Amino acid sequence: MAFRTSSRLFGALPCLLFACAAPSIALLATAQTSADGPRILPHVTIAGLDVGGLTASEAVEVLSTQVADELSREITLRAPDHEFAITLRDLGGRADLEDAVARALDVGRGQTVPTALREAVDTILGSFEVDLPIILEPARARTITEGLLSDVRREPRDARATVANGELVIEPHIVGVEPDVQATTEALIEAAHRGDPAVTISVREILPEVLTSSLEDLVLLASFTTHFSTGQVNRATNIRIGSALIDGAVVPAGAIFSVNQTTGPRTSDKGFLAAPVYSGQNVIYGIGGGVCQISTTIYNAVLEAGLKVVERHQHSLPVHYVPRGRDATIDYGSADFRFQNTTGGPIIVRTTIDGDYLTCALLGRKSSATSGPGEGSSPAQPASQPPAEARPATGEPLTRGAPPYEPAASSADLGAEANN
């Protein structure tokens, strides 16, 4: 005989189960109450730690040690040539223990019977896990990350061509590195939540404007070196400042290079100091005294390279650092030294200082390099008449002695310096 099942009975079964279980749930919850207050049901865990049977204060105390250990957990930030360790506490990490414990106490004591039944059954059959998230402060995390990444940041540096012992030396470029603070901070916070031990720092590479490859076909067109006294502090300072303003100037093919335009006015705001200058047949002090040695050194390199001299003026008195007739004085607004790039390719003007020696090196492309003296150049002449290369395009001699021009040294040392 087949048994027939009433659909009414099945429909009423959940209600019967709840009705039967409700007293058990109430009894279980009541059993987990003491004079110290309610206790967490057995087999309830917070962040993996069993807190069953504990009161709220006991659970907070037990969890405090574990949370302290978690906040001391280190995450490693890695980048090429750099590695940093940072803890969750450094990132402003904290945990809301009271909230987690309150949620643990609510297990099996839910406001609805189905919820309470389900939670109670979970504790009986296995365990019930309450999460304990670590809360981080994004603003603080960014500030800390930005401070660490300042060591990763690197400015790009152009490739440079220098002359050492008469030889051309190419200093390779350096790629700049700019760390992405926002992306790294976000990755760090995500790693903290996931428990990852390390994060790769996000960086952006910055290429310099002048790459090593762009200088590989450079040749040394010409160079010239003059000596100056470091004991004349103000004058030596002016030479260093002026040469730094000129060093690395690029002169395109056919363009005219001007010392005055390149350095700008030689003023005290730029660091130039008062030093001896020529004024007619007298020696006076003027801001920027000494820079004429720079223009003179460039002038002689231009002669060696065979480039076209556009403007050049002689001093009103002899100077000690070049033979007579090979000097080129400048005075902003009235006298300049200019030359034209006639090579067909760009020229790089390097003005460098090594101890008490000033060197001007003219660098150009192999395909456009000149060979020997070119238009408007000739060897130095010992006579008082300016050499042919010092004359303007009209062929008329340059006016000499227009003040103020810079001397070799102070008036007291002028005679001795002129004989060096």
Give pLDDT tens digits for 320-357: 999 999 999 999 999 999 999 999 888 999 999 999 99
Residue 263 and residue 291 in one domain: yes
The last residue of one of the domains, among 81, 111, 135, is 135
Banded pLDDT at 166 (limits 50, 70, 90):
confident
Indicate if the pLDDT at residue 162 is higher than 60: yes
Residue 301 and residue 313 in one domain: yes
- Supply the range of the domain harboring residue 145: 138-212
Residue 410 and residue 263 in one domain: yes
In whole angstroms, what is the distance from residue 45 CA to residue 272 CA? 75
Q: pTM of the full predicted structure?
A: 0.51
H or E, element range at 24: helix 7-31
Letter string b/e over residues 278-302, b meaning 16 or more CB atoms within 10 A of that residue's CB: bbeeebeebbbbbbbbbbbbbbbbb
**Per-residue model confidence (pLDDT) at position 386:** 36
Contact 386, 314 (CB under 8 A): yes
Indicate if the pLDDT at residue 376 is higher than 50: no
Return the percentage of the chain with pLDDT > 70, whole number: 74
Residue 224 and residue 316 in one domain: yes
Query: Using only C-alpha atoms, what is the Rg of the chain?
Result: 42
Letter string b/e over residues 82-109, b meaning 16 or more CB atoms within 10 A of that residue's CB: eebebebebbbbebebeebbebbbbbbb
Domain count, the chain: 3
- β-strand pairing of 74-79 with 198-200: parallel
SS3 category, 17 = helix
Q: Which of 337, 291, 347 is nearest to 314 (CA)?
A: 337
In whole angstroms, what is the distance from residue 38 CA to residue 46 CA? 17
Does residue 311 fall inside a structural domain? yes
Residue 108 and residue 169 in one domain: no
Does residue 166 fall inside a structural domain? yes
**Per-residue model confidence (pLDDT) at position 126:** 63
Neighbours of 277 (CB within 10 A): 25
Cis ω before 404 (30° cut-off from 0): yes
In whole angstroms, what is the distance from residue 141 CA to residue 242 CA? 46
Sign, Cα dihedral of 28, 99, 145, 203: positive
In whole angstroms, what is the distance from residue 321 CA to residue 265 CA? 24
First to last CA, the chain: 135
Does residue 287 fall inside a structural domain? yes
Max CA distance (Å), the chain: 142
**Per-residue model confidence (pLDDT) at position 54:** 94
Residue 89 and residue 150 in one domain: no
Phi, psi at residue 53, to the nearest 5°? 85, 0
Does residue 283 fall inside a structural domain? yes
pLDDT tens digits, residue range 202-248? 999 999 988 888 777 889 999 999 999 999 999 999 999 999 999 98
pLDDT tens digits, residue range 84-130? 999 988 888 888 899 999 999 998 886 666 666 666 666 666 678 88
User: How high does pLDDT run on average in the chain?
Assistant: 79
In whole angstroms, what is the distance from residue 340 CA to residue 405 CA? 23
Does residue 406 fall inside a structural domain? yes
Residue with tokens 């059993």: 31
pLDDT tens digits, residue range 268-284? 999 999 999 998 899 99
Residue 296 and residue 392 in one domain: yes
Does residue 26 fall inside a structural domain? no
DSSP code of residue 272? -
> Which residues on adjacent β-strands are paired with residue 311?
338
**Per-residue model confidence (pLDDT) at position 387:** 37
Residue 182 and residue 262 in one domain: no
In whole angstroms, what is the distance from residue 21 CA to residue 27 CA? 10
Does residue 152 fall inside a structural domain? yes
The last residue of one of the domains, among 160, 191, 212, is 212
Residue 402 and residue 312 in one domain: yes
Residue 278 and residue 343 in one domain: yes
Does residue 10 fall inside a structural domain? no
**All residues at 6 or more sequence positions from 86 whose CB lies less than 8 Å from its CB, including other chains:** 74, 75, 77, 144, 145, 148, 188
H or E, element range at 218: strand 218-227
The last residue of one of the domains, among 212, 240, 271, is 212
**Per-residue model confidence (pLDDT) at position 81:** 84
Residue 268 and residue 316 in one domain: yes
Q: Which of 63, 67, 66, 83 is nearest to 75 (CA)?
A: 83
DSSP code of residue 210? S
In whole angstroms, what is the distance from residue 41 CA to residue 17 CA? 21
Contact 234, 305 (CB under 8 A): no
Residue 329 and residue 189 in one domain: no
